Amino acid sequence: MTLEFSCLKTFQETYPCLFHTLYYSTIVVGAFKIFNFFKGLAAIFLDCFIYPSVNFHKYGGNTSNPTNWCVITGASDGIGKEYVFQFANRGFNLLLISRTESKLQDIQKELKLRYPRVKVQYLSIDVSTDSLQNYSKISQVTDNLPITVLVNNVGQSHSIPVPFLETEDKEINDIITINDKFTLKITKIIVPRIIETLKKNHNKSKGLILTMGSFGGLLPTPFLATYSGSKAFLQSWSNALSGELSRYNVDVELVLSYLVTSKMSKIRKSSLLIPTPKQFVASVLRSCGRRCGAQERYGTTTPYWSHALYHYLIEQTVGVYSAVANKINYQFHWSIRKRALKKRQQKKLEGEKTGNELKND
């Protein structure tokens, strides 16, 4: 340390003008970085808490007389189901797409009771099959609907964290098909309907496409490699689509989430930092079009306040592609995998024990 100070002093005495130029430049750059950091924090606070909620009338919502339609995929559970009720509350007719018909029927009945003015249709299809028949059904049902909103919510992850080389081929195919291929194909079907609806409305309203992203796509995630890659793909695709569709008056947003209580995350209890699907969707629709935690990203929002802070701090410190972030993610998901395998083994032993007892009886 003494040697370093000695060298610095020698440099100062030998090149005083250059030394002072570098010294004050460092102060200015540092002050600028600090200013930008706190400016970003202030923007998050304003986006998440202060600015008024987005009025969905600009996207064609009409609570007194719903005329425009919102298409929601993965609509029968969790976040998708919450999108259904919160868009109904904002005055949209609804086309629900999911696999389990009984759940869709129950949601349709509940919607008719709570929102009698809202029209509801549903399609029960298994999107993992990637069949032409599915896309033909979607095309036929939506052909004459005045659609202004599409919510690409359907998605699948791994059953438990798993090394890529141990991932079953079916799981890989299902994840890529559901998360990526289906999302692209339904968007290609629905977007022309949105553009046509806006033309008929003489561009009095805008179109909206919300696609669910994930921190698993934001951060390369060991032991969820296929899922992580599928969500990273959606991130780039959605951002590119946002640039293409802006001239048609269609807003395209990638919605980033971290931990939310759901079947996919396997988290049952909410907390201050982990929202319920209802809380998360409320944050999405409240701040739609604002960056929140995704201050550095185009066409992207991280709307829930704890997720927003986490996202922003990662971007401003270690970075999403750093070795540090990758190692933390590795350890986190390795720990989850160990617990999941242990739990699976315990269930197997309990099942064998029960089977042996039945045989003895």
Pairing of strands 207-212, 300-301: unpaired
For this structure, is 304 an active site residue? no
Sign of CA dihedral 238, 242, 243, 247: positive
Whether 34 is in a domain gets the answer: no
> Which CATH number is 156's domain given?
3.40.50.720
145 and 123 Cβ atoms separated by less than 8 Å? no
pLDDT tens digits for 248-262? 999 999 999 999 998
Whether 274 is in a domain gets the answer: yes
Catalytic residue among 227, 258, 304, 310, which?
227
pLDDT tens digits for 316-353? 999 999 999 999 999 999 999 999 999 999 988 877 66
Whether 246 is in a domain gets the answer: yes
Q: Taking the model in full, what pTM does it have? A: 0.92
Whether 46 is in a domain gets the answer: no
Whether 278 is in a domain gets the answer: yes
214 is in an annotated binding site: yes
Query: What confidence tier does 131 reach under pLDDT thresholds 50, 70, 90?
Result: very high
Q: How many domains does the chain have?
A: 1
**Residue 201 domain boundaries:** 53-322
Sheet holding 120-124, edge to edge: 120-124, 93-98, 69-73, 147-152, 207-212, 250-255, 300-301
* Cα(178)–Cα(128) distance, integer angstroms: 5
pLDDT tens digits for 213-250? 999 999 999 999 999 999 999 999 999 999 999 999 99
Pairing of strands 93-98, 120-124: parallel
Whether 339 is in a domain gets the answer: no
Amino acid identity at 121: Q
Q: For the chain, how many residues are written? A: 361
Whether 38 is in a domain gets the answer: no
Whether 42 is in a domain gets the answer: no
Neighbour tally for 356: CB within 10 Å: 10
Does the structure show a pLDDT above 60 at 358? no
Does the structure show a pLDDT above 90 at 24? no
